Amino acid sequence: MIENKRAHYIQKTLTHILFIIAAIFCVTPILFVISAAFTDELALAQEGYKLFPSKFSLEAFEYILESPKQIVTSYGVTIAVTVVGTAISLLFTSMLAYVMARKDFKASRLISFMVFFTMLFNGGLVPSYIMITRYYGLKNTIWAMILPYVIIPWHVFLMKGFFSDLSITLVEAAKIDGGSEVGIFFKIIAPISKPAFATVGLFCAFTYWNDWWLSMLYIEDSKLTSLQYYLYRIMNNIQFLATSLTAGNISIDRSQIPGETARMALCVLAAGPMLIIFPFFQKYFVKGLTVGAVKG
């Protein structure tokens, strides 16, 4: 018995050690960037990336807040896209998922299949690109960064998984009381589905906030450059600068490109909001992240 208890104790400790190592593996790389953002530019150049700033400085953030207008603009674009996108996406995704979960509705199977099929087969990048730029006229508009992600099949299925676990008797009772389907969804189903709304809503927000793909494809106007795309462009410019310098072409304005610490500070500003928000949604994940059956 004692032997058994001891084995159990050792086993538990080993499990904890394993998870601590995994947690370190996940978090440490990010700390290097955060630390660099708060380091003096010169100290960083001399001593390299450290877990803690070798010489603390807020200059990088001051530089970002003072100088290029582009950063403020990009922040605005990203916030607008995320807020509007998440609102539309969460609303339409939940409505669609609810209908799919209502097995008593004849068309629910067909709708489920149509959503599922898009996960298996799609037209590819070129056809969507042509549709969005030539026919929908979304190029260089803010909607190009919002509309294509409104319905993401995987999110629909996560929500459907949650709704499917709810009891149909709720709906039946409400219907006897004379409630309409739309009313029932918003007044009865939505309020008790907080975990699903929180989880999928967070995923929607994260999809919009972190997106560079749609900006890369459809946005040329610098007034509509999102934060992530701006970060990518800086990286690109630096590489361009490096190759131009070695090629002897020094006609590039160096002051246009933020220093190393400023770039890291930008990373912190770009990734920060999502990382601060998501732990608050943590408690909903276990309930809200329901992978239901895809079929039927």
Partner 1 sequence: MTSKNSMKKNLFHTKMNWGLGALAFPGMIFLLAFYYVPLFGIVIPFKQIDYSKGILGSDWVGLKNFKFFFSSQDAWRITRNTLGLNFIFITLTLIISVIMALLLFELGRRSVKIYQTALFVPYFISWVVASYILYAMISPEMGAVTNMMKSMGKIPENLYYKPEIWPVILTLAYLWKNVGYMTLLFYTALIGIDSSYFEAAAIDGANKLQLMLKISVPYIKPVIIMMTLLQIGKIFYSDFGMFYFLTRNSGGLYATTDVIDTYVFRALRVTGDIGMSSAVGLFQSFVGLILVLTSNLIVKKSNPDHAIF
Residues 140-179 that bind partner 1 (CB under 8 A): 147-148, 150-151, 153, 156, 175
The piece of 41-49, 60-68, 79-87, 244-252 that touches partner 1 (CB under 8 A) is 41-49
CA-to-CA separations, 79 to 9, 146, 191, in angstroms, rounded: 48, 12, 26
Given candidates 42, 62, 103, 127, which one binds partner 1 under the rule CB under 8 A?
127
Task: State how far the Cα of 262 lies from the Cα of 230, in Å rounded to an integer.
Answer: 13
Q: From residue 185 to residue 204, what is the string marking binding to partner 1 with x (rule CB under 8 A)? A: x-------------------
Given candidates 212, 224, 225, 258, which one binds partner 1 under the rule CB under 8 A?
212
Contact, 40 vs 271, CB < 8 A? Answer: no
Give 40 or 211: the residue with its C-beta nearer to partner 1. Answer: 211
Which of helix, strand or coil describes residue 68? coil
180 lies in the site for partner 1, by CB under 8 A: yes
Q: From residue 45 to residue 84, what is the string marking binding to partner 1 with x (rule CB under 8 A)? A: x-xxxxx---------------------------------
102 lies in the site for partner 1, by CB under 8 A: yes
The piece of 43-51, 62-70, 79-87, 245-253 that touches partner 1 (CB under 8 A) is 43-51
Closest CA to 218 of 133, 122, 147, 135: 133
Give 223 or 272: the residue with its C-beta nearer to partner 1. Answer: 272
CA-to-CA separations, 294 to 163, 186, 206, 207, in angstroms, rounded: 13, 24, 23, 22
Contact, 86 vs 193, CB < 8 A? Answer: no
Residue 146 belongs to what H/E stretch?
none
How many residues bind partner 1 (CB under 8 A)? The answer is 98
245 lies in the site for partner 1, by CB under 8 A: no
Closest CA to 43 of 149, 131, 182, 52: 52
Q: From residue 276 to residue 295, what is the string marking binding to partner 1 with x (rule CB under 8 A)? A: --xx--x--xxx-xxx-xxx
- What ranges make up the beta strands (E) of the chain? none
Q: Cβ of residue 140: shortest distance to partner 1, in angstroms?
A: 17
Closest CA to 145 of 59, 77, 70: 77
Q: Cβ of residue 223: shortest distance to partner 1, in angstroms?
A: 20
CA atoms within 13 A on the CB side of 103: 12
Given candidates 3, 66, 69, 126, which one binds partner 1 under the rule CB under 8 A?
126
Given candidates 114, 168, 192, 245, which one binds partner 1 under the rule CB under 8 A?
114
